[in-house]
Structure 1
Amino acid sequence: MIELDGLTKRYGEKVAVNNLSFAVRPGIVTGFLGPNGAGKSTTMRMILGLDRPTAGDVRIDGTHYDHLKDPLTYIGALLDAKAVHGGRSAFNHLLCLAQSNGIPRARVAEVLDTVGLTSVARKKAKGFSLGMGQRLGIAGALLGDPRILMFDEPVNGLDPEGIHWIRHLMKSLAEQGRTVFVSSHLMSEMALTADHLVVIGQGRLLADTSMADFIQQNSRSYVRIRTPQRERFLDVLHEAGITVVETGGGPLEVDGGKPELIGELAARHQIVLHELSPQQASLEDAFMQLTAESVEYHAHAQDSGDGWGDGWQREV
């Protein structure tokens, strides 16, 4: 388990992380979300002892990272896949990590096979594609067979097969009872992977909740109805005390409605339905709703005079 207690990091007048307290628990995949500049990378670096907190505390299974003996056997992390000596082969890169952490040499071949790099194990890392580099970084995180794993943008550069593989890898690690903490900007993938979410904005904690509760609390759920007997069904719904949102002659929408009850009501009045479907916002919709006031960098299209917005403006 990873535990943060009032974790704070300042760089001069800039507060990158502001009094963060939460726990990352074993047995589930915990997603770590936030806009650019929210403090996610700084938080992960403090967990690994790469940055020292200005205030607060962070512990890994009750111990500070710098007090762990052979830390790769406790926590494995992928923060920057490019942090590899380009002149070393994939095998030798992992072997150096293994030897410095008391990990058997045989484990190197095992993790190379796990991530699908056995055929290029003796090739130098500087010739690797972005996706191959990601796989090598994941191999390094798995090397010590740790109980805790932390990944920052693990699907970056991976092809569809690789994305599918890392998704199921993270889920299987959690099912084994391990702690899995993953940061990503790819909302569609996070929605398929994470069970729990920690969301921060401008260094502050915005949410610490299950995926389902996060979407429900930060989005609108409704039932969409299409019928050729629109006006008649409107009267029926109103008589039943059901509030309807009209959409300019298009489908009817009932906020928080139960489709089975609406369907039964239509059947009793012999009303034909062409659509009766529950609608729920996506993780991306819910995330944008919650973090709207915490976005530090906004991009705006600038018109070059030909009708095309081909410029970008940074707003801080």
Structure 2
Amino acid sequence: MIELVGLSKRYGEKVAVDHLTFAVRPGIVTGFLGPNGAGKSTTMRMILGLDHPTAGDVRIDGKHYDRLRDPLTYIGALLDAKAVHGGRSAYNHLLCLAQSNGIPSRRVDEVLQTVGLAAVARKKAKGFSYGMGQRLGIAAALLGDPRILMFDEPVNGLDPEGIHWIRNLMKSLAARGRTVFVSSHLMSEMALTADHLIVIGQGRLLADTSMADFIRANSRSYVRIRSPQRERLLDVLHGDGITVVEAGGGVLEVDGGKAERIGELAARQGIVLHELSPQQASLEEAFMQLTAQAVEYHAQDGPEPAPQGWGAGWKGGAG
């Protein structure tokens, strides 16, 4: 388990992490979300002892990282897949890590097989594609067969097969009782992978909750209805005390999870329904709603301005 208590980090006047307190528990995949500049990478670096907190405490299975004996057997991490000596082969890179942490050399072959790099084990890392580098970084994280896995943007550079593989790997590790902590900006992928979410903004904790509760709390859920007997259906719903919003195009919307109740009412009255569908926001929509006031970098909406020095008649195009 990873435990943070009042964890803070300041760089001069800039507060990167602001009194974070949360726990990452075993047996589930915990997603770590936040806008750019929210403090996610700084938090992960402090967990691994790469940055020292200005205040607060962080422990791994009850110990500070620098007090762990053979740390790769406690926690494996992928923070930067490019942090590899380009002149070393994949095999030798992992072998050095194994030898320095008291890990049997046979684990090198095992993890290379696991991540699909066995065929290029003797190739130098500088010739690897970005996706291959990601796989090598994941192999390093798995090397000590640790109880805790921490991944920062693990699907970057991976093809669809690789994304599917790492998703299933994280789920299987959690199912075996491991602690899995993963940061990603790919909301669609996080929605398929994480069971629990830690969300931060401007260094502060915004949410620590299950995936389902997070979406429910930060979005609108409603039932979408279409019927050729629209006026009669409206009368029935109003008579039962159900508030209906007319959304245009013949579509009716009812807030909340009342699909079964609406279906039963329509059936009793012999009303034909062409659509009765519960609607729920995506993780991305819920995330945008929660973090709207915590975004540090805002892109400008609207058309891109013309380059300075070009006349008003400039319309772009090839030169």
Report TM bin, short chain. Answer: over 0.9
**Which sections of structure 1, spanning at least 5 residues, go unmatched?**
311-316
Q: Is the 8 A contact 1:29 1:182 kept in 2?
A: yes
Alignment match, 1:314: none
> Where does 1:123-138 land on structure 2 (aligned, <5 Å)?
123-138=123-138
Alignment match, 2:91: 91
> Where does 1:35-114 land on structure 2 (aligned, <5 Å)?
35-114=35-114
Alignment match, 1:34: 34
Identity %: 85
1: CA distance, partners of 2:88 / 2:314: 50
2: CA distance, partners of 1:137 / 1:251: 50
2: CA distance, partners of 1:14 / 1:283: 29
How much does 1:309 deviate? 11
TM-align CA RMSD: 1.5
2: CA distance, partners of 1:127 / 1:31: 31
Change (3 A) 1:309 1:50: farther
**Which sections of structure 2, spanning at least 5 residues, go unmatched?**
307-311
Change (3 A) 1:274 1:307: farther
TM-score normalised by length of structure 2: 0.95
In structure 1, give the amino acid aligned to 2:255. Answer: D
1: CA distance, partners of 2:45 / 2:20: 14
2: CA distance, partners of 1:5 / 1:235: 55
How much does 1:307 deviate? 10
Q: Is the 8 A contact 2:230 2:250 kept in 1?
A: no
How much does 1:306 deviate? 8.3
How much does 1:231 deviate? 1.7
Alignment match, 1:192: 192
SS at 2:273 equivalent: coil
Q: Is the 8 A contact 1:150 1:180 kept in 2?
A: yes
Alignment match, 1:313: none
TM-score normalised by length of structure 1: 0.96
Q: Which moved more, 1:75-84 or 1:264-273?
A: 264-273
How much does 1:249 deviate? 4.0
How much does 1:121 deviate? 0.2
Alignment match, 1:255: 255
How much does 1:239 deviate? 1.0
> Where does 1:214-225 land on structure 2 (aligned, <5 Å)?
214-225=214-225
1: CA distance, partners of 2:266 / 2:313: 52
- 2:6 is the counterpart of 1:18: no
Q: Is the 8 A contact 1:147 1:179 kept in 2?
A: yes
1: CA distance, partners of 2:24 / 2:257: 34
2: CA distance, partners of 1:249 / 1:277: 16
- 2:200 is the counterpart of 1:205: no
